[in-house]
Chains A and B, each alone.
Chain A
Amino acid sequence: MEIAYFLGCIMNNRYPGIEKATRILFDKLDIELKDMEGASCCPAPGVFGSFDQTTWAAIAARNLAIAEEMGAEIMTECNGCFGSLRECDHLLKENPAKKEEINAILAETTDKQYKGETKVRHMAEILYNDVGLDKLSEMFTKDLGINVAVHYGCHFLKPTAEVGIEESAENPTILDELVEITGAKSVPYKNKMMCCGAGGGLRARDIDVTLSYTKEKLDAMAEAGVDAIVEVCPFCHLQFDVGQTEVNAKYGTDFAFPVMHLAQLYGLAMGLSADELTFDAQLIDATPVLEKLE
């Protein structure tokens, strides 16, 4: 099996341990991750899509066209990239006039055309549906006996009518199941399905509102008593990592939940070192949870 691996921005440009763990995992699973050479920013659905739909769609369509030329489905492990590429694909399939407009722009500026021949997929969904929990479990050498707060983020499952991974995003289980095969326990907490607060350009536009979201999430996680936060979106990852220190500075709190992308959690379960997973590049010290795993 071959997949066009879409990197995006935040994972590869800030938290490369997520990319590293993913490449190792898929190598073990015998799935080839093919680089999408020259791919750009997805660009971010909430923020860039809010500025100018045409520019947003043209840049996203160019990325889709790269995968089409490779003859492969696209895999991303960022909810934002997933949202953007999937939404653009959906828009251009539903709206022939828009497709024509975007292809005219691509013809003028690139040697690419959007044909609608690829499929945009999230890593978590590929692991769950194509690989399966049983095979996945075989990759792990270490039982992770920690309690985690699973954060789904917004653009992984929603809008469910278009995405279709889960029938409803009110009480999904896919990510909890993916987490619990490592031996980690997904602890229920209040407002589990709530947004981290960073999306839609809000983090850039009004950090105080964003932090009030994040604090509400962190308060609930503290109440539930978790060792770490696990998510499937590098932007949520950044918000829980950097944003957690910002919350502490603003509210005088002392939250210290290490943040892990699902790929990093799997990296730990595969026995990769903390260095390889670049936990040391994160603001919230992961040592307490790593020690708990020893």
Chain B
Amino acid sequence: MSVLDTLKSLIGGAKKDIDKNLTKEAESVEEAADSIQTSSEEEIEVKSDSETISEEEPLEAEAPAEEEEAAEEEAPEEVEAEEAPVEEEAVEEAVEEVPEEEVSLDEEEESIDDKLSEEEESLEAAEEAVEEEASEENEESDNMTLLKENDIYSMDDIDKEFTQKFVDAGIETVDHCFQCGTCGGGCPSGRRTPYRVRQIVRKCLLGLREEVVSDPALWMCTTCYTCQERCPRSVKIVDIIKMARNEAAKAGYMADAHKATGSYVIKFGHGVPINDKTKDLRKAIGLDELPPTVHAFPEALEEVQKICAACEFDKLIGFNMETGELE
């Protein structure tokens, strides 16, 4: 739960319980919002991709009764977790104040509404201060587009040769994508990482080379083909991802673990070479100790190594053919 969510549940609780002193609470929420403004700008910027608070606000009036309790119990803890001491104090204060103050049931709905709008205003003020993207304008814009309001691309970001690489490699279907999002909907990595396959396809088509190759999420695809199977435009999505990774590797964005895998193929001709334990196992069950692969034919291994050298794969991963090690 984020800081703003915490605030939201505080407000939600207050709205539900008209026994509470709304004036006091609104003040304390404002207080808390102020303190967030001053204490955790960085944190909140991180959330720029998450939904904005204002999107969920209408639900608050119907928030369940437990929410008040939840707010009391969770707010201090959550805030603590976010390491914003100033804000923690303020929110705790707010939480404590809420249940202590008693107010009569005579409070009119009208005045509740007033207070609610006041709260919304104060929250929005806090958001605007800390999170540029949370403006109402943005909320109304089409969230299915790739570009955010503050992401302005110039022609300098566009590399048409990058897009052409896909076409030349026979993946001209990159151009067939109409951004429906079916790919991301079925993507198992999309459910657990920032990997957004639809965005990557779009960026490849636009020629946003640097954004594509520098994004670590590019490497979160397991090449399971679920996206490609379901694509209504038959876009060769996995081919696009692999080609983009080829470009990322060339640009120096290759993980050490992947360089190691590559180095095994150069050294042994196998990504997973044999070991003593398996040699014994093979012998024990009546198989040749060494399988009849490059492991048993040194001249065959040489061929694989020559191929790697001819393709400059050794240079790509920083493998020193002389020492037989990664540099």
Contacts and interface: CB of A to CB of B under 8 A. Distances in A.
A49 B291 CA distance: 24
Given A50-B249, A158-B225, A55 B261 contact: no
Interface stretch (A12-20, A125-133, A257-265): A12-20
Pairs of residues from A and B, 9 with the lowest C-beta to C-beta distance, nearest first = A38-B300, A46-B223, A158-B225, A109-B306, A195-B224, A50-B245, A200-B223, A38-B297, A55-B311
A261 to B, nearest CB: 14
Contacts of A100: none
5 contacts: A20-B285, A40-B300, A50-B246, A105-B310, A170-B229
Interface stretch (A116-124, A140-148, A206-214, A286-294): A206-214
Given A44-B271, A45-B223, A209-B189, A110 B307 contact: yes
A48 B249 CA distance: 11
A228 interface: no
B106 to A, nearest CB: 53
Given A205-B257, A206-B220, A16 B313 contact: no
A194 B188 contact: yes
Interface stretch (B24-32, B73-81, B207-215, B275-283): B275-283
Contacts of B18: none
A9 B271 contact: yes
Nearest to A207: B257
A27 interface: no
A57 B310 CA distance: 13
B242 to A, nearest CB: 5
B86 interface: no
B255 A204 contact: yes
Interface stretch (A180-188, A243-251, A274-282): A274-282
Interface residues of A, number: 74
A14 B272 contact: yes
B270 interface: yes
B222 A40 contact: no
Contacts of A51: 245-246, 249, 254, 258, 262, 313, 316-317
A275 B280 CA distance: 13
A37 B242 contact: no
B219 interface: yes
A204 B255 CA distance: 9
Interface of A: 7, 9-10, 12-14, 16-17, 19-20, 23, 35-41, 43-55, 58-59, 62, 91, 94-95, 98, 105-106, 108-110, 112, 154-155, 158-161, 168-170, 193-195, 197-202, 204-206, 209-210, 212-213, 216, 275-276, 278, 281
A240 to B, nearest CB: 14
B219 A206 contact: yes
Interface residues of B, number: 69
B228 A158 contact: yes
Contact of B225 (A49, A58, A95, A159): A159
Contacts of B243: 53
A210 B192 CA distance: 10
B38 interface: no
Contact of A40 (B228, B238, B284, B294): B294
B238 A62 contact: no
B254 to A, nearest CB: 7
Contacts of A55: 307-308, 311, 313, 316
Given A13-B274, A39-B294, A48-B261, A54 B311 contact: yes
A110 B306 CA distance: 8
Interface string B42-84: 0000000000000000000000000000000000000000000
Contacts of A195: 188, 222, 224, 226
Contacts of A193: 226
B111 interface: no
Contacts of A158: 224-226, 228-229
B234 interface: yes
Given A38-B292, A38-B297, A51-B258, 18 more contacts: A12-B274, A20-B286, A37-B292, A37-B296, A40-B301, A48-B262, A50-B249, A51-B245, A51-B316, A52-B311, A53-B246, A109-B303, A109-B309, A110-B306, A154-B222, A154-B223, A205-B258, A209-B192
